Structure 1
Amino acid sequence: MANKESLALELECTMLFEANPYLIETARGLESRLGRKSEDLEPVLELLVKQGILQKIGAGPSAVFRYQEPTTHSEFDFTSELEPI
């Protein structure tokens, strides 16, 4: 698969899981949902797992993938806004 096609499929998978954050699906199920070949999907899914976008549960053909919501960290410094007593 060409790099351009791979990037498009990566985006397509990411958007599917972001739009359906509780979706849990096998590569075979994604094949039918997206109308793509599993040979094309599997390397893209593994890449999304490495990037932390998807979580893979299990192994082999029965492995399922689910969206892994990104964690956000915020730091607040309120001490500069406090008035001395």
Structure 2
Amino acid sequence: MVQKELLPLQMECTMLFQSNPYMIETIEGIAEKLDRTKEELLPVLSQLVIQGILQNLGDINSPRYRYKEPSVITQVDGDLKKA
């Protein structure tokens, strides 16, 4: 699959997990929910894991995916000067 063909499916997968942030699912379950094949999903899920959007809680033989909540970094400047 070409990268531009993967992008809509990446968005579909991301939206599925964002809508169900506590879901832990196998590739078979994701394929059923999105009406896709495992072969279509495998490169997309792998890319989402690399990007840090999903976590793989299983192993190579039985991957189980879940949404990884993005971390929010806030920085407070302690050297604020009064005007």
Q: Which residue of the partner structure matches residue 2 of structure 1?
A: 2
More helix by share: 1
1:82 to partner: Cα distance: 5.6
RMSD: 1.7
C-alpha separation between the residues in 2 aligned to 1:36 and 1:81? Answer: 57
The one-letter amino acid paired with 1:12 is E
Q: Please, what TM-score do these two structures have when normalized by structure 1?
A: 0.87
C-alpha separation between the residues in 2 aligned to 1:18 and 1:26? Answer: 16
Unaligned runs of 5+ in 1: none
Q: Which residue of the partner structure matches residue 19 of structure 1?
A: 19
Question: SS state of the match for residue 66, structure 2?
Answer: strand
C-alpha separation between the residues in 2 aligned to 1:36 and 1:24? Answer: 18
Q: Sequence identity, in percent?
A: 47
Bigger-Rg structure (1/2): 1
Q: Which residue of the partner structure matches residue 47 of structure 1?
A: 47
The answer to whether the 8 A contact 1:23-1:66 is kept is: yes
Q: Please, what TM-score do these two structures have when normalized by structure 2?
A: 0.88
C-alpha separation between the residues in 1 aligned to 2:59 and 2:79? Answer: 49
C-alpha separation between the residues in 2 aligned to 1:15 and 1:81? Answer: 43
Q: Which residue of the partner structure matches residue 36 of structure 2?
A: 36
1:65 to partner: Cα distance: 0.2
